[in-house]
């Protein structure tokens, strides 16, 4: 279990460091163009997800996301204590990732984001983004398990652009991004709502994907 939790913490750390660090780099090099900065942020995030999931899938399942962990708890693949340990590891890893990104870019270690993302359309966007991600994972691991790293990396890359919230889709990443006042930050006012809608996607998506797979197996 220690190796599993270490993998979850380390994977989430690198994921958040990539999201925050690439956001800072993109902002510095984009010449004030938010669209260009988002392209850089997108490419880095999608690529690192492919790498991290490929490496850590055999060790911990490569959740890096409390919403994924919660869905697998609902599926009775994780006990409540194990799921809680996963989530704590992910949150701690995410926070460390933000700090490390600030260190390598010579920024204050702890910041509070000022980028306002508090609005109903963005909350709805986060529910859709997280629901889509969970569908990709739950269906992909059944029908195309070897393709999961690429599927997730591509989905999140697309999600940056087809969702108004830029597809956080991850409570641990959302919390971590609250502590960076950079391109990828999120002001505290929106964080509880983002996390609520992200986690609320777990149960209905699990039931829906189970229904889809049951009907396929039955030949309906």
Of 183, 186, 185, residue with least CA distance to 30 = 183
Residues above pLDDT 90, as percent of the chain = 90
pLDDT in tens, 75-129: 999 999 999 999 999 999 999 999 999 999 999 998 999 999 999 999 999 999 9
CA angle 191, 14, 185 (to 5 degrees): 30
Residues 9/176, Cβ–Cβ less than 8 Å: no
Rounded Cα gap, residues 219 and 98, in angstroms: 47
Residues above pLDDT 70, as percent of the chain = 97
Q: What is the pLDDT of residue 218?
A: 46
pLDDT in tens, 154-201: 999 999 999 999 999 999 999 999 999 998 999 999 999 999 999 999
Sign of CA dihedral 193, 196, 199, 203: negative
- Global pTM reads 0.94
């Amino acid at each position: 279990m220690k190796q599993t939790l270490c993998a979850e913490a380390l994977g989430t750390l690198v994921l958040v460091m990539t999201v925050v660090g690439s956001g800072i780099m993109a902002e510095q090099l984009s010449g004030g163009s938010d669209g260009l900065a988002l392209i850089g942020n997108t490419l880095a995030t999608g690529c690192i997800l492919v790498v991290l999931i490929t490496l850590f899938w055999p060790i911990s399942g490569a959740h890096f996301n409390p919403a994924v962990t919660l869905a697998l708890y609902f599926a009775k693949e994780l006990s409540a204590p194990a799921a809680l340990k996963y989530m704590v590891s992910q949150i701690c890893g995410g926070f460390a990732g933000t700090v490390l990104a600030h260190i390598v870019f010579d920024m204050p270690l702890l910041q509070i984001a000022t980028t306002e993302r508090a609005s109903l359309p963005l909350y709805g966007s986060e529910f859709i983004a997280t629901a889509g991600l969970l569908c990709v994972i739950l269906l992909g691991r059944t029908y195309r398990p070897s393709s999961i790293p690429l599927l997730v990396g591509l989905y999140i890359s697309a999600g940056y652009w087809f969702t108004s919230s830029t597809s956080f889709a991850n409570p641990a990443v959302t919390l971590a991004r609250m502590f960076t006042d950079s391109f990828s930050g999120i002001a505290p006012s929106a964080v509880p709502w983002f996390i609520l809608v992200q986690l609320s996607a777990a149960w209905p998506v699990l039931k829906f994907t189970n229904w889809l797979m049951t009907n396929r197996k039955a030949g309906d």
